[in-house]
Amino acid sequence: MIRVLIVDDHPVVRAGLRALVEGQEDLTVVAEADAFETALARAESECPDVVLMDLSLGQAEEGGAETTAALRARPHPPEVLVLTTYDTEADILRALDAGARGYLLKDAPPDELFAGIRATARGETVLAPSVAATLVRRTTGASTITEREVEVLELLSGGLGNREIARELFVSEATVKSHLSHVYAKLGVDTRAGAVAAAIERRIIRR
């Protein structure tokens, strides 16, 4: 029996996932959580094999990626399968870097979800087709946006100026300007607004 912990801040989503998962003979939901601290506590007490992790956990500072990293840092960590609506490069990279074993989208058919949970429990990597395609584009593209450039774009989309971005990333303003010039060249734009618009259109960052 594969023990599953569901982490999602929407009660209706958790209830739906529980009903689906518990309809399978080899899967059982041992706990639910709606926030970072609750997820850590439930994982400690219930010892799940797989954590189904949403990336957005309300307005809390710690989202799914931070929760994933904390869970994976434990002595006997559960495997984490992200189940979210977000498929931008920034979200995918952040989740996988945090230690997530797989990444599925919430519009996945139930059978794909069940297979994903089972594969994750076996330690296999599970990726939604669109997520896999994004990663392939990243590794084969000549003008790949780096992780640091993604961070700059995210801060840029939040309306921050060069000085504020430098402060957030603990780098110099000159470094920020250098990142921006590379971003402009890679995206084929010449303005800050153009860079943000292009990054959103290409699903590099969220709207």
Provide the pLDDT for residue 143. Answer: 63
Q: Judge if 2-137 and 147-201 fold alike in CATH terms.
A: no
Q: Which fold has domain 147-201?
A: Arc Repressor Mutant, subunit A (1.10.10)
Q: Would you give the DSSP letter of residue 72?
A: H
Residue given tokens 């303005």 in the structure block = 191
pLDDT in tens, the chain (207 residues): 999 999 999 999 999 999 999 999 999 999 999 999 999 999 999 999 999 999 988 776 778 999 999 999 999 999 999 999 988 888 998 899 999 999 999 999 999 999 999 999 999 999 998 888 777 776 655 467 888 888 899 899 988 999 999 999 998 988 999 889 888 888 888 888 888 888 888 888 887
Provide the pLDDT for residue 43. Answer: 96
- Architecture of the structural domain at 2-137: 3-Layer(aba) Sandwich (3.40)
Are 129 and 112 contacting, i.e. CB atoms less than 8 angstroms apart?
no
Q: Would you give the DSSP letter of residue 24?
A: S
Are 156 and 162 contacting, i.e. CB atoms less than 8 angstroms apart?
no
CA triplet 119, 123, 129: central angle to 5 degrees? Answer: 50
Provide the pLDDT for residue 18. Answer: 97
Model confidence, pTM: 0.76
| Among candidate residues 159, 183, 155, the one with its CA nearest the CA of residue 168 | 155
Residue 87, both tokens: 């498929």
Provide the pLDDT for residue 73. Answer: 95
Q: Where are the domains of the chain?
A: 2-137, 147-201
